[in-house]
Amino acid sequence: MAGKKVLIVYAHQEPKSFNGALLKIAVEELTKQGCSVTVSDLYAMQFEPRATRNDIVGRLHNSEAFNYGVETWEAYKRGGLSKDLVEEQKKVQEADLLIFQFPLFWFNMPAILKGWMDRVLVQGFAYDVSKAYDGGLLQGKLSLFSFTTGGGQEMYSKGSISGDIRYILWPMQHGIMHFCGVKVLEPHICYAPENVSEEKRKEMLTAWTQRLKTLWKEEPIDCSPDWYFK
pLDDT for 34: 96
pLDDT, one tens digit per residue, over 95-128 is 999 999 999 999 999 999 999 999 999 999 999 9
pLDDT of residue 158: 87
Whether residue 2 is predicted with pLDDT greater than 90 in this model: the reply is: no
CATH topology of domain 5-229: Rossmann fold (3.40.50)
C-alpha 148/C-alpha 213 separation (Å) is 20
pLDDT > 90? residue 198: yes
The answer to whether residues 216 and 1 touch, using CB atoms and an 8 Å cutoff, is yes
**In the prediction, which pLDDT does 129 show?**
86
What is the number of other CB atoms lying within 10 angstroms of the CB of residue 44? 12
Confidence at residue 178, expressed as pLDDT on a 0 to 100 scale: 98
Chain centroid offset of residue 143 CA: 7
- The whole-chain average pLDDT of the chain stands at 96
pTM: 0.96
Q: Which among 147, 144, 145 has a CA at the least distance from the CA of 192?
A: 147
Predicted local confidence at residue 219, as pLDDT: 97
Alpha-helical regions (H) of the chain: 18-32, 42-45, 68-77, 83-94, 111-120, 165-169, 198-213, 225-229
Measured between alpha carbons, how far is 185 from 169 in angstroms, rounded to an integer? 12
Given a cut of 90, whether residue 77 has pLDDT beyond it is yes
For the chain, give every domain's residue range. Answer: 5-229
Q: Given this model, what pLDDT does residue 44 score?
A: 98
